[in-house]
Amino acid sequence: MAGGTFKLSSPKVRPGAYVVTKNGKQPTASNAPSGIAIIPLIGYDWGPRGEMIHLTNESPDAAKVKFGRSIYDDNECMVMLQLMFLNATEVYTYIAGGGEKAKGTITLKSGTGNVTAKYPGTLGNKIKVVSVANPEGGFDVSVVLDGSEVELIEGATKVTDLKSDYVDFAGEGELAAFASASLTGGTNEDSKVNASVATFLDMAEKIKFNCMALPTSEASLITAAVTKIKYIRNSIGWKCGLVVANSAADYENIYNLTNAAEYAGEELTIPQSVAWLAGAIAAAGYTSSLTYKIFTGATGVVGAKTNEEAIQAIKKGEIFFTVSESGDVIVEYDVNSKVTFTQDDPADIMKGRPCRVYDSFANDLLLTFVPGRFNNDPTGWTVMEGLGRAILKAYQNDGAIQNVDEENDFLVDRGASTGDSVYISCGIQPVDSAEKYYFTVIAR
């Protein structure tokens, strides 16, 4: 379905739900999904290319075969998935880059067969295949990855009997016993990273995610991701966020992370740390702030800021980690990168929680007001207003907005609505979290 922003002077061509968020009671967004994060794995050494892999916190290791590892293994990319799942409920990931598949040969009763790794990458060079005679007939063929048996095919007699999730067997003839056959020639191809990240960004348009992590310092990739998020928000209409490293996007719900954390005994880089923050933002919803949010498992801050540095960073729209009085690693202040405002921008849109209210509300409108669902007449307008006011009430009951005037905060413009176009005014006042306390103590 089409969506995005609109101007009264430029009517849209495609049917859809078009939303503008403005200061005051002007058009702004059932139940949009939350807790969904998305990340490309750049430079990973195994797995399918050109495929979005969907994981959930109920079964985070469901794609272990595709990764060649558990997400709990000590690997830089797997650690980023761990970090996301500290908060996120769902993660979409994509293995960026290219490469060659590792290959090898096996001994047959007569001649040889070929073995090719299922996926490109250097992890394929750690695959070995072993065949031993089965006392009851045939041969037991093991696939060993990095020293651990990951598959055992029992009682096979021919090459065509060998079906594996890690390698492809080719050839004809009867099997024989053979010692370890190693695969070689697997490569990672970094020259294809930019093109594959571009493909990832295009595929992301089809997913209703809440926040994307871009774990890189490459300026061209950051620019591409920022451009894509703006496009998704303004042209497609789905309100989502992005976390980048050391990049001042000056845009709502695009976060500029400028330091990192220590985790599991290792110093994370800032690009790695964006994974945790994106997961936390995705899961935060519109009723909680990330200010002083604890980074569970973190033991220190890499690049801690002084008081003056922290003040300047906040003014520049940076988000960063600090250590609390109790020794926890926390988010200092839940602010996105927006520092430049127009008269139409809500004054609080640079704050994380209010921005998520605006975004979630816009997404709920997008999902509720589907083209063709209502009549564009007084009866249909009454139904639309009823649904809109129900959304307002739900948000108020959740503590996301306040001072709702149900009769006037969701109104169809009956004079302007005609043909296939409906114009609706909606007013909301987000609730922020109490994050600054000013006390006056008077001695008696």
Decide: residue 339, CB within 10 A, 0-12 exposed, 13-18 middle, 19+ buried: middle
431 lies in some domain = no
Provide the CATH number for the domain around residue 177: 2.60.40.4290
State both tokens at 260: 């990192």
**Mean pLDDT of the 173-200 span:** 94
Do 157 and 203 belong to one domain? Answer: no
Per-residue pLDDT tens over the stretch 314-341: 999 999 999 999 999 999 999 999 999 9
What confidence tier does 26 reach under pLDDT thresholds 50, 70, 90?
very low
* Residue 155 in domain: yes
CA 309, 315, 320, 323 dihedral sign is positive
Among 26-35, 41-50, 412-421, the range scoring the smallest mean pLDDT is 26-35
Model pLDDT, residue 21: 64
Q: What is the pLDDT of residue 360?
A: 96
**Does 442 map to a domain?**
no
Which DSSP state fits 69? Answer: S
Asked whether residue 227 is domain-assigned, the answer is yes
More confident residue, 27 or 341: 341
Given a cut of 60, is residue 204 above it in pLDDT?
yes
**pLDDT of 3:** 72
**Do 48 and 159 fall into the same domain?**
no
Residues 21 and 7 in one domain: yes
The pLDDT of residue 290 is above 50? yes
Q: Report the pLDDT value the prediction gives residue 33, as an integer from 0 to 100.
A: 82
Do residues 276 and 418 share a domain? no
pTM, two decimals, is: 0.91
- My answer on whether 91 and 105 are in the same domain is no
Give the chain's end-to-end CA distance (angstroms, integer): 65
Query: Which residues constitute the domain of residue 145?
Result: 101-182
- Name the average pLDDT for the chain: 93
Q: Is residue 13 part of a domain?
A: yes
Say whether both 352 and 222 belong to one domain: no
Instruction: State how far the Cα of 408 lies from the Cα of 411, in Å rounded to an integer.
Output: 6
The verdict on 125 and 217 lying in the same domain is no
Output the domain CATH number for residue 241. Answer: 3.30.1370.220
Task: Give yes or no: residues 115 and 88 share one domain.
Answer: no
- For residue 20, the model assigns a pLDDT of 67
Taking 90 as the threshold, does the pLDDT of residue 191 lie above it? no
Instruction: State residue 27's pLDDT score.
Output: 32
Residue 281 has pLDDT above 80, yes or no: yes
Given a cut of 60, whether residue 25 has pLDDT beyond it is no
Same domain, 69 and 199: yes
One domain, residues 84 and 215: yes
Residue 377 domain flag: yes
Q: Which of 296, 331, 366 is the last residue of a domain?
A: 331
- Of 1-10, 33-42, 137-146, 344-353, least confident by mean pLDDT is 1-10
Mean pLDDT of 206-210: 97
pLDDT in tens, 393-408: 999 999 999 999 988 9
pLDDT at 22 (0 to 100): 60
DSSP per-residue codes, 284-343: HTTS---TT-B-TTEEEEETPPPHHHHHHHHHTTEE-EEE-TTS-EEES--B-S-----T
Residue 330 near residue 293 (C-beta atoms within 8 A): yes
Give the pLDDT of residue 169: 96
Report yes or no on 217 lying in a domain.
Answer: yes
Mean pLDDT, range 147-172, rounded to an integer: 95
Where is 348: in which H helix or E strand? none
Residue 438 within a domain: no
| 437/240 Cα distance (integer angstroms) | 30
| pLDDT tens for each residue of 68-114 | 999 999 999 999 999 999 999 999 999 999 899 999 999 999 989 99
Please state the rounded mean pLDDT for residues 150-157: 96
- pLDDT at position 29 is 35
pLDDT tens for each residue of 360-371:
999 999 999 999
Choose one of 159, 182, 205: the last residue of a domain: 182
Listed residues 117, 150, 182: the one ending a domain: 182
Average pLDDT for 217-226: 97
108 and 90: one domain?
A: no
Domains of the chain: total: 3
Rounded distance, CA 427 to CA 314, Å?
29
Residues 199 and 301 reside in one and the same domain: yes
Q: What is the pLDDT of residue 24?
A: 52
